[in-house]
Chain A
Amino acid sequence: MDLQLTEEQQALVAALQDIMQDHAELPQERRLSYAWHDAGLQTLLGESGFLDAAREIGPLEAALVVFEAGKGIAALDTIGCGLVAPLLLPDLRIEGPVALVDRRDLGKAIRNLSISGTLLVDCGEDVALLPLAGFAIDSVDSIFAFPYGRFAERPDLSSARRLPGAGAAMRQWWRVGIAAEMAGAADAAIAFTIDYVKQRHVFGRPVGSFQSVQHRLVQRHGWAKSLYYLTMKAAWSGAESDAAIAACFAQTGIQSLMFDLHQFHGGMGVTIEHLLHFWTYRIRALQAEAGGLSASALAIAERRWTEAGSEVDAVPARVAGL
């Protein structure tokens, strides 16, 4: 596997970064908010074709889009509509954000439900596809930087379209998406913190000149880089265990990441009078998805250490075709 991006991939990333740069400012009236969903940017990414990367180019490029968009300050849906839905339903073009949920969590607050037109429900073996028009959805106040919504009444899935046997694939790409967005948000949050500790002085020196700060930032940076590579490998290989490893790695490391980045902002780190939480709270929200850490870890064990042998030994069909 070549970890360098091709020229085409670099061009894709550069074009997306240009757009993200134009939307890097937080609107003043949102300064003390917990959540900021940029509906205009969401539409723009759709219209510019970035959310079609999975269908038009491939899952690796789609994961790059999730990663780059994850660096932005606004909450967007790229995982659902840019990665999971097109890979599960290559022939069905769905407009707008797609929310994702485990069937057991249908009665709870669901990320992006209030902005989505479609919901994909992980029913274990199968997936149910539920168009959301006609459902009453209450928006839920949360600190987790995404718009959350809850069904006023638990929906009946019996009439929803079923995608037989698609459950494992949904969880797999959901995990790749989680890892990619967490990697992007972590990258941006670390850069934001590095900027802060260079400017902020204590004892006559920049905070970032102290080794206790430097060493921990370096560790967090190494974690974020590792997560990026694990994610890209999972998007490239199409192996379920790679997806679970990337998600598990992401979901395991965030406690130190969140704590150190907020800690290095000093007292400001426990307020919402800075921008850091727009990335870190999104990371925190994604930690619990697709079954969370426990399910990702079990998926790795099942896939890698079965009696039939390790998945690593087998070349997945998707890779063989590349």
Chain B
Amino acid sequence: MLDDLNRLEPFRAEIRSWLAANLPSDWQQGMLGAAEADHVAFQKWWFAKLMEGGYGAPHWPKEWGGSGFSFAEQIVLYEEIARAGAPRLILYFIALHHVLGTLLHWGTEEQRRRHLPAVLAGDEIWCQGFSEPNAGSDLANLRARAERRGDHYVVNGQKTWSSNAHHARYCLLLARTDPDASKTKGISYFILDLQTPGVSLRPIKQMTGASHFNEIFLDDVLIPAENLIGPENGGWAVAQSTLSSERGLSVLELAERMRQGFGLLLDDARKVRSDGRLPYEDDEIRRRLVDVHSRIEALRLLVNQQLTSILKDEAIGVEPSMIKLYYSDLLRDFTELGVAVGGIDAQYLQAVLMGSANETGYWMQDYLYSWAWTISGGSSEIQRNIIAERGLGLPREPQARAA
């Protein structure tokens, strides 16, 4: 991969100077403890700025208004965004990755025309309506019911853990259209307009104090039949392509951001704390710093290996699961070390830095937020099962004895 990237040094220099000229150096001050409305406004502004520079939709095809960057170019771009400590476009994540991947593969021309340009104009924030109170790790157990009546589907049910639904206009929704079919067979995939009557939201209070995600209640919600994506009862396959649309670039960005974040940790370890102690002189802290540092380097190599395989069009196996598991464990230990280095000063309840990386130097926030990573996007237990069964070829866990 290095050879490919070396050719792109001029491209890298262009991005770097663009970021230096356009990224407000004080954006973090503005977003620390920012009100939701200011957070949304800033995300919109930064996305528009990136679009103006040609970096907002790097992986989108040119015919749909994107930059059409090669995969190698995208790698360079994400490395530079992470290096610059730019905000994460978390409000646009679903729209830029999942909506694009899903509609290009399964959507109708009409659906693409209706939504893709609006996403790039910054007008459409999307969320995901997959998980339910009894369907998380076991997603195929979902119960939300969609019944066809004439030109519409009538949807009833409840969704949960829907990140940023309170800012979104549209939702990628999974609902059961055939209750008699086996678990994965009777599911369909819809575009849901969240302003439809019968949709209500309840924000969930996280341990960090923030409320990024929501419950969505659906009571006799009418979805026009033209909002079905893919075949009726074929939603499971559509969902698989949604979830595989990120192609390792998100985790590249996260790994590079963690590498930057390590600098914050090291700086704090070298600072005399208010009690006169210097964390860096503590042998235990030094040992843990070295441990985290070497694991970050290993993470970057794991990501590099996966990206190289993608560049070469090789089949991807369980690498995404391994990287997810590795990253979330490491993030937990990294941020725990941050809290330890920060001492009592780092223990207060802090404001949330909106749109930040997972390592902000506000260690208590980082630490609490890190716990979400071993759950969301497939829990660590599920990732281990996948690696054991598909990667190592181990037999499946025995089913529980009949109750």
Binding site for B on A (CB under 8 A): 32, 34, 104-105, 107-109, 140-144, 201-205, 209-213, 255, 259, 262-263, 266-267, 269-273, 277, 288, 293-294
Contact = CB atoms under 8 A, between A and B. Distances in A.
Interface in B254-284: 274-276, 282, 284
Contacts of A204: 138, 141
- B207, B332, B343, B372: most-surrounded residue (chain A CB, <10 A): B207
Contacts of A140: 348
B71 interface: no
B275 A104 contact: yes
Given A107-B274, A144-B347, A204-B141, 13 more contacts: A32-B205, A104-B275, A142-B347, A210-B381, A211-B397, A263-B371, A267-B161, A270-B207, A270-B371, A270-B372, A271-B205, A273-B204, A288-B347
Given A107-B274, A144-B347, A259 B207 contact: no
A88 B209 CA distance: 39
30 contacts: A34-B349, A104-B275, A104-B276, A105-B275, A105-B344, A108-B344, A109-B344, A141-B349, A142-B349, A143-B349, A144-B347, A201-B134, A202-B137, A203-B137, A203-B138, A209-B400, A212-B385, A213-B381, A259-B332, A259-B374, A263-B371, A263-B375, A266-B379, A267-B131, A267-B136, A267-B375, A270-B372, A271-B204, A273-B205, A288-B343
Contacts of A269: 371, 375
B336 interface: yes
A263 B375 CA distance: 7
Interface of B: 131, 134, 136-138, 141, 160-161, 204-207, 209, 274-276, 282, 284, 332, 336, 343-345, 347-349, 364, 368, 371-372, 374-376, 379-381, 384-385, 397, 399-400
Nearest to B344: A108
Nearest to B283: A294
Contact of B282 (A201, A209, A294): A294
Contacts of B364: 143
A184 to B, nearest CB: 22
Contact of B348 (A141, A270, A288): A141
A210 B385 CA distance: 11
B181 to A, nearest CB: 16
Contacts, number: 91
Contacts of A109: 344, 347-348
A211 B399 CA distance: 11
A60 to B, nearest CB: 31
Nearest to A203: B138
A270 B275 CA distance: 31
B294 to A, nearest CB: 19
A266 B137 CA distance: 9
B207 A143 contact: yes
Contact of A271 (B131, B141, B206, B282): B206
Contacts of A211: 397
Contacts of B397: 210-211
A294 B347 contact: no
A107 B343 CA distance: 14
A288 B336 CA distance: 13
Given A34-B349, A108-B344, A212-B384, A263 B379 contact: yes
Contacts of B343: 288
3 smallest CB-CB distances across A and B, nearest first, come from A270-B372, A209-B400, A203-B138
Given A210-B397, A271-B205, A142 B348 contact: yes
A207 to B, nearest CB: 9
B49 to A, nearest CB: 32
A108 B276 CA distance: 13
A205 B400 contact: yes
A105 B372 CA distance: 32
A213 B379 CA distance: 12
A108 B204 CA distance: 31
- B343, B344, B374: most-surrounded residue (chain A CB, <10 A): B344
A271 to B, nearest CB: 5
Contacts of B206: 270-272
Contacts of B207: 143, 270-272, 277
A272 B208 CA distance: 9
Contacts of A144: 347
B376 A267 contact: yes
Contacts of B375: 263, 266-267, 269-270
A258 to B, nearest CB: 9
A212 B383 CA distance: 12
Contacts of B399: 205
Contact of A259 (B161, B209, B371): B371
Contacts of B384: 212
A79 to B, nearest CB: 18
A203 B131 CA distance: 14
Nearest to A265: B375
Contact of A263 (B141, B345, B348, B380): B380
Contacts of B332: 259
A272 B348 contact: no
Contacts of A294: 282, 284
B138 A263 contact: no
Contacts of A105: 275, 344
A144 B368 CA distance: 12
A148 to B, nearest CB: 9
B381 A212 contact: yes
A108 B348 CA distance: 10
B138 A288 contact: no
A118 to B, nearest CB: 21
Given A109-B348, A288-B344, A255 B205 contact: no
A209 B380 CA distance: 17
A55 to B, nearest CB: 31
A294 B283 CA distance: 10
Contacts of B349: 34, 141-143
Contacts of A288: 343-344, 347
Nearest to A216: B381
